[in-house]
Homo-oligomer: A and B are copies of this chain.
Amino acid sequence: MSPRIIRKKTGNFLEDFKPGQLFRHKGGKTLTEGLFALFTDFSMATNPLSKNARYARAHGYRGLVCPPGLVMVTAFSQTVGDISENARANLEYIDMRFGAPVYIGDTIEVETKILGVRPSSSRPNLGIVHVQSTARKNLGAEDEAVVMTWQRKVQVYKNDDKVTVEAFAIDPDDIECSLWLPEYDAATDYAALSHLSSADSYFEDLEVGTRIEHSRGRTVTDEHIALTGILDNTSQVHCNQQMIDWNPKQYVGGKLIIFGGIPFILCLGLSGPDVGDNALGETIYRTGRHTAPLFAGDTVFAATEILATHDHPERADLGLVDTRLFGHKFARDEDATPDDAPEGWKKIPIFELDRQLAVKRRSHYSR
């Protein structure tokens, strides 16, 4: 007798989400050195806090510090199975705040609350889901702490177009999460380490009203498939070419699309030598969004506009810098005569992030 075939429904659809529904996501992730090496280095990150354990410990950290980009993609990927398995597009990151530092060996677990659903007026099979997620490390241990909290809006498909979905919206929770900073130790010879970071990205160097075109680009290959899987994000549009070959019209570009977390961390990393190297951390990404898809073979570039600088309310050795981070790529366009690309090419914006960093002052950390 032939077996009874089971094909399970995976992920949630628009109509499945209820107000205040809480997901404690499957899996969790222990940050191994393997994961750390792959991502920190893939992202072109240059902050020596993530490269050089001697430098990190001298600044008051326990060891190599996971870059905020890696914390972000690790935590975010934990939510994909429950929240965006049946998504069409990730619309916006909102109020993404960082807390305790993450070290190699920490275990991150994430939960998400459903804040709102709004069916689309123009497309009967789609709607927007608004969620709030919080990532903690080392639950039950002495150093248990919130490492990150954020909201996001994502466009999700209905399972059944004919079902009526009622809109709802509830307030986000007030999650305590602010950037942990090591003490400033006046007895430490920080200047003796200053050659290890870039010389011209201290707080005093960053000038409001400038836009720094970061000098490096990174061509992304089909390596993205493995990188995305390593985050446990098994969303099929990133790793199942067969599915796309069967329905090419249904999928953007007819190719595997690169998980948005990858240009996210790449842009953060590319900004490093000019903006990130002398940051002790990032406090908040107020808003962020992807503006065009990325595919294997594309080359990612980035730029940063310095919007504002502030004294840090508690720390004389640091300053806060508000920036906007831009990611872009280029494509051929025979008719293009642009200012911002070679002739015959056009620039395509792919990513934008409002990003605040806590940056070291030369006065306290260098000569």
Q: Which chain A residues have a beta carbon within 8 Å of chain B's beta carbons?
A: 1, 3-8, 10, 24-30, 32-38, 41-42, 44, 46, 48, 51-55, 64, 104-105, 107, 109, 138-141, 195-198, 200, 207, 209-213, 215-219, 221-223, 225-226, 229-232, 234, 236, 239-243, 246, 256, 273-274, 297, 299, 301, 305-306, 329-330, 342, 345
Contacts and interface: CB of A to CB of B under 8 A. Distances in A.
Contacts of A27: 46, 48, 51-52, 196
A219 B239 contact: yes
A240 B212 contact: no
Contacts of A140: 54
Given A8-B274, A28-B54, A48-B26, A242 B230 contact: no
A109 B196 contact: yes
A218 B195 contact: no
This chain: copies in complex:
3
Nearest to A246: B342
A299 B242 contact: yes
A35 B32 contact: no
Contacts of A222: 221-223
Contact of A53 (B41, B107, B240): B107
A156 to B, nearest CB: 17
Contact of A215 (B8, B34, B35): B8
A86 to B, nearest CB: 12
Main SS at interface, chain A: mixed
Nearest to A341: B246
A108 B3 CA distance: 39
Contacts of A234: 44, 216
B34 A212 contact: no
22 contacts: A3-B211, A5-B213, A7-B212, A7-B215, A25-B195, A27-B48, A28-B54, A30-B51, A30-B54, A30-B64, A32-B33, A32-B64, A33-B34, A51-B232, A54-B141, A216-B240, A217-B240, A217-B243, A223-B223, A242-B301, A243-B299, A246-B345
A219 B242 contact: yes
A138 to B, nearest CB: 7
A107 B19 CA distance: 50
Rank and list the top 5 A-B pairs by shortest CB-CB distance, nearest first: A34-B37, A28-B52, A242-B299, A3-B211, A41-B230
Contacts of A36: 32, 34
Contact of A241 (B215, B219, B345): B219
Contacts of A299: 240-243
Nearest to A25: B195
Contacts of A231: 41
Contacts of A241: 219, 297, 299
A325 B232 CA distance: 22
B240 A218 contact: yes
A151 to B, nearest CB: 21
Nearest to A298: B242
A196 B218 CA distance: 35
Contacts of A232: 41, 46, 51
A215 B10 contact: yes
Nearest to A224: B221
B6 A210 contact: yes
A256 B140 CA distance: 48
Contacts of A212: 6-8
